[in-house]
Copies of this chain bind each other. A is one copy, B any other.
Amino acid sequence: LGESGLLRSLRPYLAPASSELIIPSPDDDAAVWRVGSTRVVATVDTLVEDIDFRRRWPGFDFRVLGRRLMTINLSDLAAMGATPRYALVSLALPRTLATSAVDRLYAGIAQQAQRFRCAIAGGDLSATRGPITMTATVFGEVPKGRRPLTRHGARAGWRIAVTGWLGSAAAGLKLLEAGRRPSTVAERRWVQAQLEPVPRLDAAEVLQRAGVHVAGDISDGLYREVERIAEPAGLGAELWADQLPIEPSLKQARGATAWRLAISESEDYELICAAPRGQLEAAARALHSTTGLRLTEVGRFTPDPGITLVRNGRRLQVRSRGFEHFR
């Protein structure tokens, strides 16, 4: 059935969009509703031990895990162009967990929340006989005068762009899963990309100011997110494998298969956005000058449905390989 199938099966039970509930998730990266004249953005994300992380990974650190819990949620706010305000955290922890581990976990959560000016307003703690299971709910606001970023409204011919580098986080995950400590500068960078992604809140603001309003986060895979933007709009897309922003060291290490990491197993908490070419180019210049981050064109939306990969001048149809917990 797959995760998206199960989420679809939840759809009949979800409230429909209305003048108050502007965007029900899972139509987008987060839900948006009105409180008075304020557009509140709310998102929830869970990390489950042995699915999303393992304590036996080399160098495992509860503080880093805590930061990551906040990041995956803050990334959803970034994808909506919202400014973080408050978080609630719910932890289900085995009784056997050392107090020092819990302390480090809390510290990591608090540290990342503070860094992005998000107040931890409360939480809940449960025991579990199973894996560590941690849920954060994060609330933000769309600043007045700014338009939320959503998956809605892409047009044929618009270019598709992504922030940062792709594939490094997936390469880092493969090292961790193999139980290998990173031994080179490049490997350390990949592991870092996996464990310590940065929520692209600043980038989202730059995109909004540049007039971009179609965006998402690609943590479920570039392919999946392109599909989520294209399908409801009745569009298809072309992705340019040779243009994907892959670190040179990763390209060298992985050779001809590097693009696969970048397109389907992403794990990258980067933003995708779509707009007419000139607007994306202006956004890329603004982004680079304010944050140093790159914004790279990686494809375009087409009037015909289906997603095509163009590589070395050859076209191939891609099957969905975005990560599904329930595949």
Q: Residues of A with Cβ closer than 8 Å to B?
A: 1, 3, 6-7, 9-10, 13-15, 21, 24-26, 30-31, 33, 35-38, 40, 42-46, 48-52, 85-86, 88-90, 92-93, 95, 99, 102-103, 106-107, 109-110, 119-131, 133, 135, 137, 139, 141, 325-326
Contacts and interface: CB of A to CB of B under 8 A. Distances in A.
A106 B14 CA distance: 9
A173 B35 CA distance: 39
Assembly stoichiometry (copies): 2
Given A92-B133, A121-B21, A131-B128, A139 B46 contact: no
Nearest to A3: B125
Nearest to A47: B126
A128 B88 CA distance: 21
A33 B129 CA distance: 34
B6 A326 contact: no
Given A35-B35, A36-B37, A123 B48 contact: no
A176 B9 CA distance: 31
A232 to B, nearest CB: 16
Ranked 3 nearest A-B pairs via Cβ: A130-B130, A25-B122, A15-B119
B126 A46 contact: yes
Given A102-B9, A135-B90, A48 B127 contact: yes
Contacts of A109: 13
A171 to B, nearest CB: 23
Contacts of A92: 46, 48, 133
16 contacts: A6-B99, A14-B120, A14-B123, A15-B119, A15-B121, A21-B86, A30-B122, A35-B35, A35-B38, A44-B122, A45-B124, A48-B128, A50-B129, A128-B130, A129-B131, A130-B130
Nearest to A73: B124
Contacts of A1: 99
A121 B35 contact: no
Contacts of A88: 25, 31, 42-44, 137
Contacts of A127: 3, 48, 51, 325-326
B107 A13 contact: yes
A89 B86 CA distance: 17
B46 A124 contact: yes
Contacts of A49: 130
Contacts of A102: 6, 9
Contacts of A51: 126-129
Contacts of A95: 326
